[in-house]
Amino acid sequence: MTGTFRREISDALANPNLGGALTRFSEAYRTSRAKAYEGVDFESLRARIAEIKGGAAGRYPELVARFREQAEKRGAKVFLADGPEKVRAYILDLAKRSGVKKVVKSKSMASEEIHLNKALQEAGVDVRETDLGEWIIQLAGQKPSHMVMPAIHLTKEEVAGIFSKEVHERVSSEIPRLVKVARHELRERFLEADMGISGANIAVAETGSLVIVTNEGNARLVTTLPRIHVAIVGLEKLVPAFSDIVPILKALPRSATSQLLTSYVSIITGAAENTDGSPKELHIVLMDHRRSEMAGDPVFKEALQCIRCASCLNVCPVYRLVGGHVFGDVYTGGIGTILTAWTGALERSKEIQGLCIQCGSCVEVCPGKIDIPELIVEVRRRQVKEQGQPFVQKAIFKVVNDRRLFHGVLRAASLAQKPFEKDGLIRHLPMFLSGLAEHRSLPAVAEVPFRDEVRGIAQPKGDRKVAFYAGCLIDFAYPGTGRSVVEVLNRAGVEVVFPDAQTCCGAPARYSGAYDVAAQNAIDNIRAFDGLEVEAIVSACPTCTAALKHEFIAALRSEGRSDWLAKAQALAEKAVDFSSYVTRLVAEGRLTIPEGKALAAVTYHDSCHLKRTLHVTKEPRELLAKAGLPLVEMDEADMCCGMGGSYSVKFPEISAPILGRKLANVRKTGAGTVAMDCPGCLMQIRGGLDKESSPIGVRHLADLLAERLGGR
């Protein structure tokens, strides 16, 4: 990561307007989006969109041909351009040939992608953005910081300053007044322009139609008043049938702006009439710019299902802190990271891909059903494959990849940290590590790891047997939680075995794009658990459980180790998270949790992988209820705590404010304890609360249950 990028991040974080505006927005968005989707079956709607757009991505040549035939039959000219240069050349040539002096534009991300304004201006053409947000950033000489609300990063005072310069008089910062200035200033531009340039939200092959969705009404003027209309349309906008517009028109306004429908939807099919009665000169530029290549890529084809609603930005814990000028290029946020890797500057894409914390919030809301974090990890994987890993990372994974060496290092660390340790937490670190512990205390590496301790636990020989997958954090930092897991399961008559050869689940390597390391971790673990006569493999770490259930398979597949897939599949079928397994035991009547009376209230934090990868949310809450622990829900219970594995080490400056927000939401509940299922979240949240000397207890659910069962 370059120093410049680090500085961009710290500047964005230090800008109170930015963080304030984005955070208020993301808070309001959650509620307003839910309201807009009331009565709509979102899952089936997005399945339909994914089917339509995914299907279209497999047949662009055919859809282009059909679109061209239909649109040209109705008087349009259709030009297929393979890249930005061709698009710019076509439009510049057209402008020159037709004597175009003035252009008005409605919002088009495709035109931003190819930096069209710059090219037009250099050719002496006066080009005006007319979407309010786009006009503001054009006047300010900036890039959009959000795909739907390009100027969301600016305050009304800043906008007033920008407008004052443009109209050469002092403009008040009242928003209705600012909007009037735009209406007044741009009205004349619409009327005098020779060419209107727009994008399109959908292009229908069956009919040759363009569908344009707007709120301000500028697109209607851009496509009506100038005698020439040019529409720039990325191939991913193509859908086969006219009826395919219905699900997209249902989802796009709801996801983008929480509206049931935008103020205007225009469907343009061929050349309509000009205001002087002549037929409109309509040029439709279909832009490929690597979309066909993406469509041929088994992983990235999915990204073409995007409808550009930007909901992945609106729910992103990182975007709302740093905004789109840091987290993005032309396209911003999660999907922007993927699009930048394909259509933007390579160097930029290398920097921004690291910003995704892999919390999966965007996956839940994406109307195109795109697994954005997964695709970002794939961007990382390919970059690592091409250039190798950064030196330090490589050295670390070399250690992690050798279990004996790795565990030896951890044991050595337990001794080395002694001078800094107090009550099991490290509050101060030597200078070179201090960035890691500034906003939270870190757990001390346990003196006796769980792998050693487990041998001394006398277990009942039950009729049921499970294997325990501890994961590094429980094994080496929180062995007490491992003890709790064993105690709870023993209480149900379940014997717990601990295969010694188990090692890191590979998540750190995988999230860093080092799939070869992750695949080797997977193989080592499969070997460790192979042949055990157990009914389940239980883990009390959701990240580890997600690895056992899904990511071993993904890493092996990606590395071409298909020889291990059958065994990985068998392991995945047995893997289960602690809460789900205990819920099963309770349902079978094998375990009764004594219901405490008048216990202090608890609040529950949903860990990213537990909720969004394993889809477990009810189970831990029901177990808390069974134990008689009154639950007070916190705001944004399922928002990431900022840990993200090594993310908190790579971007401590981003991790800290995400944690700060989580802690504030915990405090607001008034609960004396915050419970969770993930030792990573526990490390982050406990470290944060310790740093502020909070009396709030931070407990793994296994520890709470073991306590209720009277173990401790």
261 binding another protein? (CB under 8 A): yes
Minimum CB–partner distance for residue 141 and another protein (Å)? 17
Q: Which stretch binds another protein (CB under 8 A): 132-140, 386-394, 508-516, 599-607?
A: 132-140
* In the complex, minimum distance from the CB of residue 186 to another protein, in angstroms, rounded to a whole number: 7
C-alpha–C-alpha distance, residues 618 and 640, integer Å: 18
**445 is a contact residue toward another protein (CB under 8 A):** no
Q: What letter represents residue 120's amino acid?
A: L
| Euclidean distance between CA atoms 573 and 312, whole angstroms | 31
Residue 311 is a binding residue for another protein (CB under 8 A): no
Q: Which is nearer to another protein, 268 or 454 (CB)?
A: 268
Q: Give the residue with the Cβ less far from another protein, 92 or 267.
A: 267
Name the nearest CA neighbour of 580 among 640, 521, 550, 537. 537
Total site size for another protein, rule CB under 8 A: 64
Q: How far apart are CA 43 and CA 655, in angstroms?
A: 31
State which of residues 246, 395, 412, 501 lies at the interface with another protein (CB under 8 A): 246
Helix (H) or strand (E) holding 562: none
Nearer to another protein, 134 or 421 (CB): 134
Asked if residue 226 lies in contact with residue 196, where contact means CB atoms within 8 angstroms, the answer is yes
Least spacing, CB of residue 107 vs another protein, in Å: 10
Residues with Cβ within 8 Å of 642's Cβ and at least 6 positions away in sequence, in order, are 317, 357, 648, 654, 655, 656, 657, 658, 659, 662, 684
The yes or no reply on residue 140 touching another protein (CB under 8 A) is no
Q: Return the number of the residue (182 or 538) whose C-beta is nearest another protein.
A: 182
The nearer residue to another protein, 258 or 613, going by C-beta atoms, is 258
Q: How far, in Å, CA of 219 to CA of 199, rounded? A: 9
Closest listed residue to residue 126, CA positions, set 103, 92, 142: 103
Q: In whole angstroms, how close is the CB of 638 to another protein at the nearest point?
A: 23
- Identity (one letter) of the amino acid at 143? K
CB of 598 within 8 A of CB of 567? no
Residue placing its CB nearer to another protein in the complex, 225 or 492: 225
Position 203: which residue type? A
Q: How far is the CB of 130 from another protein (least distance, A)?
A: 7
Q: Residue holding tokens 């009565």?
A: 39
> Are residues 483 and 703 in contact, defined by beta-carbon separation less than 8 angstroms?
no
Q: State how beta strands 425-426 and 421-422 pair.
A: antiparallel
Question: Is residue 243 a contact point for another protein (CB under 8 A)?
Answer: yes
Binding-site member from 23, 142, 164, 262 for another protein (CB under 8 A): 262
Q: What is the 3-state secondary structure (H, E, C) of 5-48?
A: HHHHHHHHHHCHHHHHHHHHHHHHHHHHHHHHCCCCCHHHHHHH
One character per residue 111-130, x = contact with another protein (rule: CB under 8 A): -------------------x
Q: How many residues does the chain have?
A: 712
- State yes or no: residue 315 binds another protein (CB under 8 A): no
Judged by CB under 8 A, does residue 132 bind another protein? yes
Smallest separation (angstroms) from another protein to the CB of 151: 6
269 binds another protein (CB under 8 A): yes
Q: Does 151 interact with another protein (rule: CB under 8 A)?
A: yes
The tokens describing 96, both together, are 């020159």
**271 forms part of the interface with another protein (CB under 8 A):** yes
Residue 8-27 contact track with another protein, rule CB under 8 A, x = bound = -------------x--xx--
The Cα–Cα gap between 309 and 262 comes to 12
d(CA 295, CA 298): 8
Instruction: Work out how close the CB of 143 gets to another protein at its nearest, in angstroms, rounded to a whole number.
Output: 15
Spell out, one character per residue from 201 to 220, where the chain touches another protein: x when CB under 8 A holds, - when not.
---x--x-x-----xxxx-x
> Is residue 199 classed as helix, strand or coil in its secondary structure?
coil
Query: What pairs with residue 238 in β-bridges?
Result: 203
In angstroms, what CA-CA distances link 13 with 22, 41, 153?
Answer: 12, 37, 12
Yes or no: say if 329 and 351 are a contact pair by the CB < 8 Å rule. Answer: no
Diameter of the chain measured on Cα atoms: 92
Residue 588, H or E segment: none
Residue 91 CB, nearest approach to another protein (Å): 22
Closest contact distance (angstroms) between CB of 530 and another protein is 53
Residue number with CB closer to another protein (275 or 562) = 275
Applying CB under 8 A, which of residues 9, 13, 119, 136 lies at the interface with another protein? 136
Q: What are phi and psi of 233, to 5 degrees?
A: -130, 115
CB of 116 to another protein, least distance (A): 20
Contact partners, residue 597, CB within 8 Å, separation at least 6: 628
Residues 155-184, mask of contacts with another protein (x by CB under 8 A) = xx--x---------------xx-xx--xx-
Binding-site string for another protein from residue 71 to residue 110, where x marks contact by CB under 8 A and - marks none: ---x------------------------------------
Q: Which range touches another protein (CB under 8 A), out of 194-202, 257-265, 302-310, 544-552?
A: 257-265
Out of 111, 198, 266, 349, the only residue in the binding site for another protein (CB under 8 A) is 266
Stretch that binds another protein, among 249-257, 400-408, 435-443, 561-569 (CB under 8 A): 249-257
Distance CA 64, CA 295 (A): 14
Phi, psi (5° rounding) for residue 673?
-140, 140
Place of tokens 């030597």: 430
Answer yes or no whether residue 694 interacts with another protein by CB under 8 A.
Answer: no
Report CA torsion sign: 236, 240, 242, 247. negative
* Residues in region 23-62 near another protein by CB under 8 A: 24-25, 28
Binding site for another protein (CB under 8 A): 21, 24-25, 28, 74, 130-133, 136, 149-152, 154-156, 159, 175-176, 178-179, 182-183, 186-187, 190-191, 204, 207, 209, 215-218, 220-221, 223-225, 242-243, 246, 249-250, 257, 259-275, 277
